[in-house]
Amino acid sequence: MQMLRRYPHSAVCLLLTILLGLGAFYLHSQIADLETTQRERAKEGEAMLDLLVGGSTQRQELAAVHEVARRIEDNLVVEDALAENLWYFYKLEEQTKARLPELHQLSSPPGDTSTLYKRIPYTLRATGSFEQVAAFLLALETGPRLVNIVSFNCARTGAGGAGLALDLGIEVLGKK
């Protein structure tokens, strides 16, 4: 105690040195925990940055999906529009030069109420040369309307078998 009274300035400096040393020791022990926390936050930040950079790509992909869905909706058949539905097949007939002597839209089967679309059945016969009938079939498969071939039958026609007749049972995707 006598030393403290005699050298008060030195005593205060000693006390401050001890307190600051304890503070430095405490902070040094916290550095490892703080570095771990900082690394975790840096990883989260990088992941968010990647997500933000990829966000424009995701928006482009979503826009493309919406465009495809719109095109599908635009090409769905309305069952009651018989003339328009048959005209689609006659346009294919005109493009491919195959003939459609028989084309019938059948009544739709009782549908499942949970589905978004309706299957509209057709039966048709395409006649012509092999190239014409094949072109008609290709146009039917690759056209804008979504067509499912349910049944088919192919036979030669005419003298010498130069012609071809293709009987198809198909379903076209339509609006509910």
| CATH number for the domain that contains residue 129 | 3.30.70.60
Q: Is pLDDT of 170 > 80?
A: yes
Q: Is pLDDT of 110 > 80?
A: no
* Rounded alpha-carbon distances, angstroms, from residue 120 to 4, 15, 100, 103, 110: 104, 94, 18, 13, 11
Q: What is the pLDDT of residue 96?
A: 92
Residues 166 and 87 both lie in one domain: yes
164 neighbors 152 (Cβ within 8 angstroms): no
Backbone torsions φ then ψ of 105, nearest 5 degrees? -90, 125
Q: What is the pLDDT of residue 112?
A: 58
Q: Which domain holds residue 36?
A: 2-73
Average pLDDT over residues 57-66: 85
173 neighbors 77 (Cβ within 8 angstroms): yes
Backbone torsions φ then ψ of 164, nearest 5 degrees? -140, 140
* Rounded alpha-carbon distances, angstroms, from residue 25 to 31, 34, 41, 174: 10, 14, 25, 76
Q: How far is it between the farthest Cα atoms of the chain?
A: 135
Q: Return the amino acid letter for 104.
A: H
**pTM of the predicted model over 0.85:** no
Distance CA 83, CA 7 (A): 113
Of the candidates 47, 73, 99, which is a domain's last residue? 73
Of the candidates 73, 107, 130, which is a domain's last residue? 73
Of the candidates 52, 73, 94, which is a domain's last residue? 73
Q: Tally the domains of the chain.
A: 2
Q: What is the pLDDT of residue 108?
A: 76
Residues 115 and 61 both lie in one domain: no
Average pLDDT over residues 10-31: 88
140 neighbors 90 (Cβ within 8 angstroms): no
Average pLDDT over residues 142-164: 86
Q: What is the pLDDT of residue 32?
A: 83
**Quick one: which of 98, 106, 102, 99 has its CA closest to 82?**
106
Q: Could you tell me the pLDDT band of residue 78, with boundaries at 50, 70 and 90?
A: confident
Residues 169 and 89 both lie in one domain: yes
Q: Could you tell me the pLDDT band of residue 113, with boundaries at 50, 70 and 90?
A: low
Residues 171 and 87 both lie in one domain: yes
